[in-house]
């Protein structure tokens, strides 16, 4: 008497559409990051003009004037070339700052998760103290000690991010340390270090990769902020943050001097954030079911 | 003729191209009690969820499910909501997960009442208290104000039953309602569930992998395999004269102790020459809990409270106890993974009192864990998993060859080495774990609930395998389980633990056929039996 009816989960089409969007995140993010990285690599060999070449005859040129794609600054330096080389600085800072954070933070977090008790408290509370320190203050201290420059900025950002990585590592590792395969490894005589490196790290890698990608974006932003304050990258090395600082004086006359480096920063940070989101979604097992 | 309560016709549930439930049809009369049995992946839960209209995203149900003649499939969520919790409700397996941890019990039970009836909160709360009383919770007024974590597992499951019954539904679906509970608590909860649905003339669908549980509650049974019905009929008829080969396998897999109370199975008394491999003397293990406040001393938990046990060379010692009895702590102490607060442990002549000696014990003793999902590193190839102890303990020889031999010994194909653990079924994974434990050539194997996570037919095979391997590798085995039937099958001697103390010990034959202590008797009486005899024996509390 009744027709066979069809019950369609709850709104499965909407779910699929969302899943597609999320994959789009990943590819757009990846495309942006690859573009930035490509630009940085190309700028090692070729830029339209010498980015540091001062040309008093052509200051403050507009877009596409005299072959300058984005125009020139107050000293007649080519903006486009500066932004291209600025990508080097941004990525360099990102890579090294994150490398510092990872190299120090992961062992600390893993140690805390493996030891528990007093040792854990000591390590994690110390890292909380560092976390409570504003990165800019940390940077100023380091600049006072080491002198201003990209290196000091990198180290300051790296140190500021150590607690973040340590916390994420500890949280994820705690769960894995409770699992039976870790107990099994102990029962056949493996020590903490081996267990942490061979059993725990591979199982928390996905969480860390996502965190690292997001921190990369934050590091680029932090470098721009420090350079803007004048305690980061020093002239003549081009940096997006410093370009912004230089542009400040001419904001009334020529706002595009600030717009282009600002856009470069926004674009790159967006790219890394999208990539981070995309990786998170790709590694999230809860989404896996709806994909198959 | 009156319309049946539930009519299911041609119910098919698919996930993409996978068919999870395949053309299932049955009818239920009001007040009937039906068991749906099947092993993991048989589609029993999906069938229930399809009836409730609660299928997870991505699954599609076709066919027909009618409640008193009214079609439920294809109705949208808004219409179904009026049925759910009203004319149909569901009880889930894990009571802690099914209750909201930050909402008081009484309020949660009152919730379905408030949704479907026009009554005040105070009235609903009073009904909730009555419901709690009817499912046998002492001091219901106080419990109604408690949060879920303040109740025991059995009380939580009773609360869930109360919640499911709140609106006097015509149908209650219980999905493995007692699987997470201890055997004595299971008996009580099953009794309450059965008595309540009978008293209210509510139809019950009981979903479980456990045949004796079905036998003690349901009057008819549906056997599912790979999503399709292989057999159905009155419970005792199906279990006593199964017409389908698969049903027969399921019935045959039920251990003797779970068959009937009247039949006390025979047990061959083993010949064990008395030299002990493990000697534990007056072991205590106390845990200090976090302080509640500064003035009081931190509360202590006595996981083991003066336990003295010898394990004799060549025997299988079964250690049985409910949750919190300290059986896992005992295993960890023998393995040197935990150190006792006081007492002496000697394993194979090595006293476990120094770090070096703990290391030496690893050569003698190895362990198999309960959950084969969790005990194998998901990022390691099977070859590495099994070879790990060889490398760690610096066992010489050709590791690759040894791994191949071990996998052969546990009857896994030789190409298993190049695959990851998740590519195997639960039973196969447990074989991998057993191969790993045997790798360094231990003399003592500690098995902590090794078959509890497996389907019943796989349990039987795994137990047989362990028994064979024990002979082949001349092992001594300590077998820990909450399941008396399993302990009965495999053990030569048995130790019954309760709250960290040894209640009773002796040869398996004597403990199971002539238990001396009341606790052991209670445990034995609480086992559901395939002939349905236990609930009628008046164990219901």
Domains of chain A with bracketed CATH: 20-49+68-291 (1.10.3720.10)
Yes or no: say if B347 and B404 are a contact pair by the CB < 8 Å rule.
Answer: no
Strand, helix or coil for residue B245: helix
Question: Residue range B228-240: average pLDDT?
Answer: 90
Contacts of A85 (CB under 8 A, 6+ apart): A43, A47, A51, A237, A238
Peptide bond into A236 cis (omega under 30): yes
Strands B171-175 and A5-8: unpaired
Query: How close B318 gets to chain A, by Cα (Å)?
Result: 21
Strand, helix or coil for residue B470: helix
Please tell me what DSSP assigns to residue B43: S
Please tell me the number of Cα atoms within 13 Å of A249 on its side-chain side: 8
- pLDDT values of chain A reduced to their tens digit, one per residue, 292 residues: 344 444 444 455 555 666 677 678 889 999 998 998 888 888 888 877 777 777 767 666 666 666 667 777 777 777 888 888 888 888 888 899 999 999 999 999 999 988 877 888 888 888 888 888 887 788 788 888 887 778 888 888 898 889 999 999 999 999 899 888 998 888 888 888 899 988 899 888 888 988 898 888 888 888 888 888 887 777 777 888 888 888 777 777 777 788 888 888 888 899 988 888 888 777 754 444 443 3
Give me the count of residues in chain A. 292
Given an 8 Å threshold on Cβ–Cβ distance, is A187 in contact with B375? Answer: no
Question: Residue range B248-269: average pLDDT?
Answer: 74
Confidence band, pLDDT 50/70/90 cuts, at residue B192: confident
Question: Residue range B473-479: average pLDDT?
Answer: 91
Q: Model confidence over B361-390: pLDDT tens digits?
A: 888 899 998 888 888 988 888 999 999 998
The beta strands (E) that lie in B131-211 are given as: 171-175, 203-208
Contacts of B466 (CB under 8 A, 6+ apart): B434, B445, B447, B450, B477, B479, B490
Q: Model confidence over B477-491: pLDDT tens digits?
A: 999 998 888 898 888
Tell how far CA A280 is from the center of its chain. 14
Given an 8 Å threshold on Cβ–Cβ distance, is B388 in contact with A202? Answer: no
Average pLDDT of the residues of chain B: 85
How far is the C-alpha of B347 from the C-alpha of B279, rounded, in Å? 7
Yes or no: say if A124 and A64 are a contact pair by the CB < 8 Å rule.
Answer: no
What percent of chain B lies above the pLDDT cut of 90? 14
- Residue numbers in B near A4 (CB within 8 A): 10, 62-64
Residue B101 pLDDT: 84
Is the torsion defined by CA of B49, B51, B54, B55 positive or negative?
A: positive
CA-based nearest residue to B80, from A15, A4, A8: A8
- Residue numbers in A near B62 (CB within 8 A): 4-7
Q: Model confidence over A106-144: pLDDT tens digits?
A: 999 999 988 877 888 888 888 888 888 887 788 788 888
Contacts of A144 (CB under 8 A, 6+ apart): none
How far is the C-alpha of B223 from the C-alpha of A62, rounded, in Å? 80
Whole-complex ipTM:
0.76
Residue B502 pLDDT: 92
Please check the confidence at residue B313 and state whether its pLDDT lies above 60.
Answer: yes
Residue B432 pLDDT: 92
Identify the residue with better confidence: A17 or B209.
Answer: B209
Confidence band, pLDDT 50/70/90 cuts, at residue B496: very high
Contacts of B79 (CB under 8 A, 6+ apart): none
Residue A188 at interface with chain B, using a CB cutoff of 8 Å: yes
Residue B538 pLDDT: 46
Show the tokens assigned to A64. Answer: 């596409």
- Phi/psi of residue B309, nearest 5 degrees: -140, 135
Show the tokens assigned to B154. Answer: 């059995």
Yes or no: say if B432 and B424 are a contact pair by the CB < 8 Å rule.
Answer: yes
Residue B476 pLDDT: 92
Chosen for mutation from A180, A195, A207, A285 (greatest number of chain B CBs closer than 10 Å) is: A180
For tokens 């025997």, the residue is: B315
Residue B220 pLDDT: 92
Given an 8 Å threshold on Cβ–Cβ distance, is A15 in contact with B73? Answer: no
Residue B68 pLDDT: 85
């Amino acid at each position: 008497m009744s027709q066979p009816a069809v019950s369609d989960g709850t709104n499965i089409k909407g779910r699929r559409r969302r899943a597609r969007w999320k994959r789009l995140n990943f590819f757009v993010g990846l495309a942006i990051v690859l573009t930035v990285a490509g630009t940085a690599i190309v700028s090692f060999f070729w830029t339209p003009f010498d980015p540091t070449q001062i040309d008093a005859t052509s200051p403050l040129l507009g877009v596409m004037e005299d072959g300058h794609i984005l125009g020139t600054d107050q000293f007649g330096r080519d903006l486009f070339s500066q932004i291209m080389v600025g990508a080097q600085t941004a990525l360099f800072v990102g890579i090294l700052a994150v490398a510092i954070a990872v190299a120090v933070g992961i062992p600390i977090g893993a140690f805390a998760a493996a030891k528990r008790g007093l040792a854990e408290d000591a390590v994690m509370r110390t890292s909380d103290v560092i976390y409570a320190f504003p990165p800019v203050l940390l940077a100023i201290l380091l600049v006072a000690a080491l002198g201003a420059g990209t290196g000091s900025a990198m180290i300051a950002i790296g140190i500021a991010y150590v607690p973040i990585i340590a916390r994420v590592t500890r949280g994820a590792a705690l769960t894995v340390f409770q699992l039976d395969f870790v107990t099994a490894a102990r029962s056949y005589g493996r020590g903490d270090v081996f267990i942490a490196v061979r059993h725990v790290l591979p199982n928390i890698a996905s969480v860390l990769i996502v965190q690292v990608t997001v921190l990369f974006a934050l590091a680029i932003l932090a470098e721009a902020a420090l350079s803007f304050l004048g305690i980061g990258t020093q002239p003549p090395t081009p940096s997006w943050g410093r370009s912004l600082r230089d542009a400040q004086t001419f904001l009334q006359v020529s706002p595009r001097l600030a717009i282009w480096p600002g856009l470069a920063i926004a674009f790159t940070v967006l790219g890394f954030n999208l990539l981070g989101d995309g990786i998170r979604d790709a590694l999230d097992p809860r989404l896996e079911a709806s994909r198959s | 003729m009156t319309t049946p309560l539930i009519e299911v016709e041609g119910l098919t549930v698919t996930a993409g191209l996978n068919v999870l439930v395949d053309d299932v049809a049955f009818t239920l009369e009001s007040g009937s009690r039906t068991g749906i049995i099947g092993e993991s992946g048989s589609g029993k839960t999906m069938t229930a969820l399809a009836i409730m209209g609660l299928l997870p995203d991505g699954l599609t149900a076709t066919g027909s499910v009618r409640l008193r003649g009214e079609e439920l499939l294809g109705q949208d969520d808004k219409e179904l909501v009026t049925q759910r919790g009203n004319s149909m409700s569901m009880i889930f397996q894990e009571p802690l997960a099914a209750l909201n941890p930050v909402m008081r019990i009484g309020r949660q039970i009152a919730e379905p009442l408030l949704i479907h009836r026009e009554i005040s909160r105070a009235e609903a709360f009073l009904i909730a208290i009555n419901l709690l009383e009817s499912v046998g919770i002492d001091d219901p007024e106080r419990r109604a104000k408690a949060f879920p974590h303040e109740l025991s597992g059995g009380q939580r499951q009773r609360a869930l039953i109360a919640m499911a019954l709140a609106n006097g539904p015509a149908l209650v679906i219980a999905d493995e309602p007692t699987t997470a509970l201890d055997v004595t608590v299971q008996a009580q909860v099953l009794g309450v569930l059965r008595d309540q649905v009978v008293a209210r003339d509510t139809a019950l669908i009981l979903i479980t992998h456990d045949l004796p549980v079905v036998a003690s509650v349901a009057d008819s049974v549906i056997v599912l395999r790979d999503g399709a019905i292989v057999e159905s009929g009155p419970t005792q008829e199906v279990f006593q004269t199964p017409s389908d080969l698969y049903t027969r396998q399921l019935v045959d897999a039920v251990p003797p102790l779970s068959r009937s109370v009247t039949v006390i199975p025979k047990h061959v008394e083993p010949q064990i020459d008395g030299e002990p491999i493990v000697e534990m003397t007056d072991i205590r293990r106390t845990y200090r809990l976090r302080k509640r406040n500064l003035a009081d001393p931190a509360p202590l938990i006595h996981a083991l409270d003066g336990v003295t046990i010898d394990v004799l060379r060549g025997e299988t010692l079964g250690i049985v106890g409910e949750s919190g009895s300290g059986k896992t702590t005992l295993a960890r102490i023998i393995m040197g993974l935990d150190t006792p607060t006081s007492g002496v442990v000697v394993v194979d002549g090595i006293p476990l009192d120094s770090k070096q000696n703990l290391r030496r014990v690893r050569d003698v003793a190895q362990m198999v864990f309960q959950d084969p999902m969790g005990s194998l590193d998901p990022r390691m190839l099977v070859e590495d998993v099994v070879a790990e102890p060889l490398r760690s303990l610096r066992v010489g020889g050709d590791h690759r060859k040894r791994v191949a031999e071990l996998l052969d010994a546990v009857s896994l194909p030789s190409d298993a080495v190049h695959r990851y653990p998740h590519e195997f079924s639960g039973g196969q994974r447990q074989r991998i774990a057993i191969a790993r434990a045997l790798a360094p050539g231990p003399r003592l194997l500690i098995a902590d609930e090794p078959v509890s996570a497996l389907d019943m037919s796989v349990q039987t095979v795994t137990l047989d395998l362990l028994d064979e391997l024990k002979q082949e590798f001349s092992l001594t085995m300590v077998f820990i389980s909450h399941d008396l039937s399993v302990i009965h099958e495999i053990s030569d001697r048995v130790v019954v633990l309760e709250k960290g103390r040894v209640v009773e010990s002796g040869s398996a034959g004597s403990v199971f056929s002539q238990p001396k202590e009341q606790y052991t008797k209670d445990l034995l009486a609480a086992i559901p039996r395939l002939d349905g005899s236990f609930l009628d024996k008046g164990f219901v509390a």
